[in-house]
A and B are shown apart, each in its own frame.
Chain A
Amino acid sequence: MKEPFDSREYFETKLSEQIIQGRCIACHTGSGAAATSRLQLEPSTTNNHQMVNRAILAEFLGQTGVDSSFILAKVQGLLGHGGAQQLAFGSTDYIALAEYLSLVTGEQVFTDVGEFWSGVGLLSHKETLRKAAIIIAGRLPTEAEYASVADNKEASLKLALRNLMQGDGFHQFLTEGANDRLLIEKFLSAGTDFLDFNAAKLVEGAKMRYQANLDGNYAAFDRNIVSHAYEGYSRAATELIAYVVDNEKPYTEILTANYTMLNPALNILYRGTASFDDDANQYEYQPGKMTGFMLNDENFKSEYFEGLGLRIDSEGQTITWPHAGVLNDPGFLGRYPSTATNRNRARSRWTQYFFLDFDIEKSAARTNDPLALADKDNPTMKNPNCTVCHEVMDPVAGAFQDYGDVGYYKDSWLGKDSLPDTYKWTAGSLYQVGDTWYRDMRNPGFYGQVAPQGEDSMQWLAKKIVADDRFAVSAIKFWWPAIMGSKTLTAPEEISDADYTQKAEIFSQQSLFINHLADDLRQHFNLKDSLVSLLMSPWFRATNMSEAQREKHASNTTGVGMLLSPERLDRKTKAIVGKLWGEHYPEWNNYQLYTDLQQTYRITYGGIDSNGVINRAEEMTSVMSQVALTHAAEMSCGVVLGDFVKADDQRLLFNGFSNRDVPNIVDESSIELKGLKIENLQVNATVLTLPTGSLDLVMTNFAKDYEDADGVWVDINPTIFSLEVISVVSGKTVASYSAQQIFDLNSASVSGALETWQHPSLPALVLYNPGSISVPIAITQAGEYRIELSSYVDIWADTYNLAQLAQVEVPDLAVSVASDDVVNLKTASSDKFRRHLTQMIFNFWGRTVSPDSGEVDDLLVLFEQSRQAKSTRSNWAHIQEEGSSCSFDYSAYNTPEQDGWAMGSDPVYAMSAWRTVVFYLMSDYRYLHE
């Protein structure tokens, strides 16, 4: 229950200074940017300003369409507020304003922030850790990491998340996330004038190129230095951000760093000061300064030779670049270039957009008043229609005064300034020798402060920006898309829109959260802590919601269900199955990784090129869905086979499984095949314990076709004349099959034939190659059953030495009994499969399910259906079959004794079934989204 309070006192103690004079007065005055709005307040210099402003507010509340909600929406940036967001929903000032308005109007206002996430379920700690690891580290957590969050304590999860923030995967997350915003990697596929050696700014590059041409080594120079320098130029800014975050330096250093990040090639061209662990590793970035940027002063002498380039006869003064973090990173300056009339305003706009959470383009509608537009009397200084934006934009533009259109430092002749000749040397120009900025523009500065003489204005600006409260807000917003997979919301503007209310509430809640994180970031400026907070939040972890909450969250596209980018899907696949789609390292790509998702299908699958396509797809399309299916289809066979060929303890997917394991075995044994000649035909038998029901008796031959057995090439062919299943208890025969009948039941898939050459009147089923045959048996009485095979082993060999032949090891015939009802079967093998599939579901999809869940049932059924289908259509006993393809290099496994093709041997089609399961897991929406 709120205590009653006096509205005047409340206004004077909670609103007047904090909000009215602290926020509103910046624009809402008769001469301010909001001079044309309906609200004009009085500054604190006005007598009785508190009383006057209370009266103005009261009068304002009486105007058409104005009530408490209207004002509270405007201060949040909603309804097209020209001053954008001034107060975040739920902040102290916001609640103070809301309570005041409620008091003076009697209207109910909404200030409760606690209700928004009630009824919304979150990922468990283990699930959160997994999702976070995939997003920010490009891997799955280790068992130890999972164990660390098993206590379900918040502190444990925070620590585990924090510990993910290291290593190459996290570094990649940082550089990728930063580039998604800054888009400087455009230059990986587009030229840049900054590295144009004819301009002779990078004097070392000009000299090296001239010498390389003279020596006929230009191709090597281009390949070994220039191409890597382009990469370094494109990545320096994002590498700097990553370096700051990786090393837990104050995040402010992304703008204040007095160094840049260099790879060896750029270090050479810049005459950099970086030192490397491996000078030959062009993908190593280290901090350093650029000391070789040359001014074209009077000492500079050169001559251009066609085909050779610029011969530098005398260097001009070289300077140490006055680094100011990202702000004067050459790539950043190149990505946001200027022109003679733009005068660094674009750089100002983007700087404020990225680092001050201020979008000038949206801050105030530009005038379309013909008179104002036609005003040529320096309107950006004098015309209120124009000054509204230019007074905040132009001083910051001025702080970039030393950088020309391309990004060169003081690029004019003699290296005194970067002013264009069109300004300096036209009739009536205000230019005076020694000027470094335009006299018809505002002085270099920052929101009312003028950059001091004698201090580098760029470095000064960097310090001003990071000291501004908005810098921390911008930092959270900068990283929001990388964590959440969606952009931060913009304030809805039209109250008549059908979804205005929903969007306004989400926007308010998001703003509140971001501002809380920003408040926290200002205390320590360690971005990792902020990233942990983002990962811990419901915005990242929301996984279900009650029916009642769905309407409220109708515009909330955060939480579970983030579409993975091509790069993230690639890394996830690598982490889970150990391979990448189309992974190779071609010479033309400098032996760097090339994959289908990151290169061939990157744009088609919703990725960006940082140039024409700059927004990542957030929703699946039909074309993208086919890329996803192709990804899963092409990979699945190679993934399964590639895992099975590894030693068990090296496997990612199928450790503890053999290619003979199937889930529906009720009992199994083996039969030693005795009798090496027809004359030794005998009954070979084993005993199985069987339950009641319709079962399949499966016999699997593992003897390979014509293989080397200790120097003797042998072909071992188990040969069956008949089969009987006899109850041990009753002695009754419950099933009996002749070779003919067995063959008829397996004619499509058996790798063998019905032969009569052994015995003219007694056909025999000769099993030529590894594979399985099965016959149905109906068991009405559970118990032990004797499986009797009238059989012998037919052996062909390249020796007549019977003694040697007798030493040949003949593999036993595996005998198992399988149930058709894999779902209801409760055996050790089915339990093993259920546990394994449960783990696979968690790894692939991040979903925690019970081994007895419907999802696991479905996978078991899929496995068996796929296996049975292949058993009835193929006799290859191999993961491949007629008309199939598999992305697996068998030849890599060729040995003198064995063809690599044998690695795909699949006698019971377990690997084939796993391939189908993996295809399904990788093509499900839960694999493609997180």
Chain B
Amino acid sequence: MNRRDFMKMTGVGSIAASLPLSFKLHAVDEEFTGKFLVNLQVEGAWDVSSICDPKMNVPGEAIVNSWAQQGETQTAGKIHYAQFANNAAFFEKYYQDMLIINGIDSQTNSHSAGVTHNWSGRISAGYPTLTALYAAVNAPNLPINYINNGGYSETAGLTRYTRLSDSYAIKNIVRPTESNWNPDEKWIPDVDNDLVKQLRNKQMLEKLSNGTLTIRERLAINNYKSSLDNASILTRFADELNQVGSLYEDERGTEFWSSLKRQMQLALISMKAGVSVAADLQIGGFDTHSNHDVLQSELMAHTTDSIDFFWEFAGQMGLAERIVLVVTSDFSRTPYYNDSNGKDHWPVGSAIIMELDAPWGNRVVGLTDEGQNVVPINPLTLQPQQNGGSIIYPKHVMQALREYMGISNSPLLNPFPFNNSENFAFFNPSVSTPQNADPRNSIRI
């Protein structure tokens, strides 16, 4: 049975079924040579005024940031950053490799809506993550094509996500019929395993050719069959894991624990092994309604340190030149403190997009005023434009990333359009948004 017949037979419901057949027939590139896409989901809402959209305090108004009482807005290359946590080391090392997008209006301060909006591009449920789309377009048949570590993971039925948390467990199961402690011994002799494989496959194909299956059973067979068909190269992943050796243990802070570095290692190892092309990483704990400075400082430092580790490890794996890292959050935090020294929810946030030696690096796009309100900009010149300017919404960032990652023309994306009336020149190296539009942003009181 060829792939055409198989796909016809396995066509399931929902959006996947509405796709043109031609899409489902595209060639599978198991030796993926393109870029890898990684999205770091910073959950709970980070305080962008304490990292990439720094805010000083305004005389006579409530304190925006405690750090600004002693510190200053800093500059690395053309990028402004807050004198907070370990930002200096991070920005000084990577400013040339990053694009900052400030003033992204999430149009909500509800976590669930913000998460959906920022990681799918639409505030209503149902759109897949950028990473899921990228994996579905570029590597539908890789066994771990899309890694998700427990954060927002909508796939809209186009692919399935895999959780990678336990390297030990995975090493043990990539050769299912072999004994773990003695690879020369088999639980099932190869001859019998082959007989079973043939029969299993035959039965599944026969079932799929049966037009009366329920949608769910059809999906179950389809998923299991493709999972088995694609699993053989998982051994490469196990081999790479063995090469790397021990992975990072969980790290803990005052009120957080994090497996971020291990998530990074597992994602990069799987990409190196050729079994993955996209991954969502997750770090939580940023919902700092109290004790904001202490908690955000710890978390921010941990996050930027981890990103540094990510690029260093990617370099060791020989992958650094092929990776695009997107860092986003639910939204941001208020430009003032509450009674518990915390900061509550604020809809206007930022994104950081990183790629080594990117021509579009060392730039900032988008603007907020001293009260962290959006300042409209011209989408092409990126200059502030109070009248007739445009506001950056998550859909604009998503659309630009879809285009930059080369998937925007895939028929797979047809069911997930954005109704953008404008496209922002995020990746045009020749334009950027000046950050000192409001002079009070650099005043220290």
User: Which residues 199-232 in B have Cβ within 8 Å of A in the complex?
Assistant: 199-200, 202-204, 206, 211-221, 223-228, 230-231
User: Which residues 347-364 in B have Cβ within 8 Å of A in the complex?
Assistant: 347-348
Kindly state whether residue B309 has any CB partner on chain A within 8 Å: no
Kindly state whether residue A330 has any CB partner on chain B within 8 Å: no
Please judge, given known A-B contacts A366-B110, A622-B227, A858-B202, whether A561 and B187 are in contact too, CB under 8 Å: no
Contact A342 B289 (CB under 8 A): yes
Q: Among B123, B169, B192, which residue has its beta carbon within 8 angstroms of that of A916?
A: B192
Cα A556 to Cα B348 in complex, Å, equals 37
Cα A546 to Cα B347 in complex, Å, equals 48
Interface size on B, residues (CB 8 A): 95
The digit string for B330-354, where 1 denotes a CB below 8 A from any CB of A, is: 0000100011101011111000000
Contact B196 A885 (CB under 8 A): no
Complex contacts, B124 vs chain A, CB 8 Å: 80, 493-494
Please judge, given known A-B contacts A502-B14, A626-B234, whether A919 and B126 are in contact too, CB under 8 Å: no
Kindly state whether residue B76 has any CB partner on chain A within 8 Å: no
Kindly state whether residue A473 has any CB partner on chain B within 8 Å: no
Contact B220 A924 (CB under 8 A): no
Kindly state whether residue A420 has any CB partner on chain B within 8 Å: yes
Complex contacts, B14 vs chain A, CB 8 Å: 499, 502, 554-555
Please judge, given known A-B contacts A342-B289, A622-B234, whether A604 and B166 are in contact too, CB under 8 Å: yes
Cα A620 to Cα B217 in complex, Å, equals 12
Cα A368 to Cα B103 in complex, Å, equals 13
Cα A762 to Cα B345 in complex, Å, equals 97
Kindly state whether residue A423 has any CB partner on chain B within 8 Å: yes
User: Which residues 604-648 in A have Cβ within 8 Å of B in the complex?
Assistant: 604, 606, 612-614, 617, 619-627, 629-630, 632-634, 636-637
| CB-nearest residue of chain A to B228 | A625
Complex contacts, B340 vs chain A, CB 8 Å: 339-341, 420, 422
User: Which residues 353-406 in A have Cβ within 8 Å of B in the complex?
Assistant: 361-362, 365-368, 370, 373-374
Kindly state whether residue B421 has any CB partner on chain A within 8 Å: no
Contact B169 A881 (CB under 8 A): no
Kindly state whether residue A698 has any CB partner on chain B within 8 Å: no
Cα A710 to Cα B149 in complex, Å, equals 65
Please judge, given known A-B contacts A341-B338, A341-B340, A622-B162, whether A498 and B220 are in contact too, CB under 8 Å: no
| CB-nearest residue of chain B to A920 | B196
Complex contacts, B12 vs chain A, CB 8 Å: 554
| CB-nearest residue of chain A to B122 | A494
Q: State which size class the interface on A falls in.
A: 35 or more
Cα A48 to Cα B22 in complex, Å, equals 60
Complex contacts, A499 vs chain B, CB 8 Å: 13-15, 18, 415
Kindly state whether residue B195 has any CB partner on chain A within 8 Å: yes
Contact A341 B203 (CB under 8 A): no
Complex contacts, B108 vs chain A, CB 8 Å: 365-366, 368
A-B contact count (CB 8 A): 277
Q: Among B110, B165, B228, which residue has its beta carbon within 8 angstroms of that of A365?
A: B110
User: Which residues 160-198 in B have Cβ within 8 Å of A in the complex?
Assistant: 160-166, 169-170, 172-174, 176-177, 179, 182, 184-189, 191-193, 195-196
Complex contacts, A883 vs chain B, CB 8 Å: 184-186, 189
Q: Among B165, B187, B196, B213, which residue has its beta carbon within 8 angstroms of that of A634?
A: B187
| CB-nearest residue of chain B to A872 | B191
Complex contacts, A558 vs chain B, CB 8 Å: 216
Contact A619 B223 (CB under 8 A): yes
Contact B106 A929 (CB under 8 A): no
Kindly state whether residue A553 has any CB partner on chain B within 8 Å: yes
Please judge, given known A-B contacts A554-B14, A625-B228, whether A881 and B160 are in contact too, CB under 8 Å: no
| CB-nearest residue of chain B to A637 | B187
Q: Among B149, B212, B227, which residue has its beta carbon within 8 angstroms of that of A625?
A: B227
Q: In angstroms, how far is the closest chain A Cβ from the Cβ of B395? A: 13
Please judge, given known A-B contacts A601-B173, A621-B161, A633-B177, whether A544 and B186 are in contact too, CB under 8 Å: no
| CB-nearest residue of chain B to A881 | B189
Kindly state whether residue A923 has any CB partner on chain B within 8 Å: yes
Kindly state whether residue B434 has any CB partner on chain A within 8 Å: no
Contact B290 A619 (CB under 8 A): no
Kindly state whether residue A492 has any CB partner on chain B within 8 Å: yes
Kindly state whether residue B411 has any CB partner on chain A within 8 Å: no
Cα A547 to Cα B210 in complex, Å, equals 10
Q: Among A342, A563, A613, A625, which residue has its beta carbon within 8 angstroms of that of B231?
A: A625
The digit string for B94-126, where 1 denotes a CB below 8 A from any CB of A, is: 000000000001111111110000000011111
| CB-nearest residue of chain B to A80 | B124
Please judge, given known A-B contacts A555-B13, A869-B192, whether A341 and B216 are in contact too, CB under 8 Å: no
Contact B339 A365 (CB under 8 A): no
Contact B415 A498 (CB under 8 A): yes
Cα A924 to Cα B197 in complex, Å, equals 10
Complex contacts, A502 vs chain B, CB 8 Å: 13-14
User: Which residues 863-921 in A have Cβ within 8 Å of B in the complex?
Assistant: 865-866, 869-870, 873, 881, 883-887, 915-916, 919-920
Contact B217 A560 (CB under 8 A): yes
The digit string for A323-362, where 1 denotes a CB below 8 A from any CB of B, is: 0000000000000000111100000000000000000011
| CB-nearest residue of chain A to B288 | A339
Kindly state whether residue B28 has any CB partner on chain A within 8 Å: no
Cα A743 to Cα B160 in complex, Å, equals 55
Kindly state whether residue B143 has any CB partner on chain A within 8 Å: yes
Contact A929 B182 (CB under 8 A): no
Contact B177 A629 (CB under 8 A): yes
Contact B339 A341 (CB under 8 A): yes
Cα A600 to Cα B168 in complex, Å, equals 9
Q: In angstroms, how far is the closest chain B Cβ from the Cβ of A231? A: 21
Cα A91 to Cα B214 in complex, Å, equals 27
Cα A502 to Cα B126 in complex, Å, equals 13
Q: In angstroms, how far is the closest chain A Cβ from the Cβ of B413? A: 12
Kindly state whether residue A542 has any CB partner on chain B within 8 Å: yes
The digit string for B279-322, where 1 denotes a CB below 8 A from any CB of A, is: 00010100001100000000000000000000000000000000
Cα A544 to Cα B217 in complex, Å, equals 9
Kindly state whether residue A557 has any CB partner on chain B within 8 Å: yes
Q: In angstroms, how far is the closest chain A Cβ from the Cβ of B326? A: 21
Cα A64 to Cα B196 in complex, Å, equals 60
Cα A28 to Cα B339 in complex, Å, equals 35
Q: In angstroms, how far is the closest chain B Cβ from the Cβ of A603? A: 5
Complex contacts, A367 vs chain B, CB 8 Å: 109
Please judge, given known A-B contacts A339-B290, A341-B344, A560-B217, whether A623 and B185 are in contact too, CB under 8 Å: no
Complex contacts, B177 vs chain A, CB 8 Å: 629, 633
Residue of A499, A547, A601 with highest tally of chain B CB at under 10 A: A499
Contact B173 A627 (CB under 8 A): yes
Contact A604 B290 (CB under 8 A): no
Complex contacts, A121 vs chain B, CB 8 Å: 212
Q: Among B160, B219, B284, which residue has its beta carbon within 8 angstroms of that of A557?
A: B219
Complex contacts, B174 vs chain A, CB 8 Å: 626
Complex contacts, A612 vs chain B, CB 8 Å: 149-150, 259, 282, 284
Cα A105 to Cα B219 in complex, Å, equals 41
Kindly state whether residue B325 has any CB partner on chain A within 8 Å: no
Complex contacts, B345 vs chain A, CB 8 Å: 366
Please judge, given known A-B contacts A339-B289, A633-B188, whether A604 and B163 are in contact too, CB under 8 Å: yes
Give 18 A-B contacts (CB < 8 Å), ordered by A residue.
Answer: A80-B124, A365-B108, A366-B108, A374-B371, A498-B415, A545-B214, A554-B215, A600-B172, A617-B163, A629-B177, A636-B188, A862-B195, A915-B188, A919-B193, A919-B196, A924-B203, A925-B204, A929-B217
Given A558-B216, A884-B185, list of 20 further CB < 8 A pairs? Answer: A120-B214, A340-B290, A362-B112, A365-B110, A365-B123, A366-B110, A499-B13, A542-B216, A556-B214, A557-B216, A560-B216, A562-B216, A613-B165, A622-B228, A636-B187, A866-B195, A885-B185, A919-B193, A925-B204, A928-B224
Give the interface of B toward A (CB within 8 A).
Answer: 12-15, 17-18, 105-113, 122-126, 143-144, 149-150, 160-166, 169-170, 172-174, 176-177, 179, 182, 184-189, 191-193, 195-196, 199-200, 202-204, 206, 211-221, 223-228, 230-231, 234, 259, 282, 284, 289-290, 334, 338-340, 342, 344-348, 371, 373, 415
Closest 9 CB pairs of A and B: A554-B13, A622-B143, A561-B216, A629-B176, A561-B217, A625-B227, A561-B220, A368-B347, A885-B185
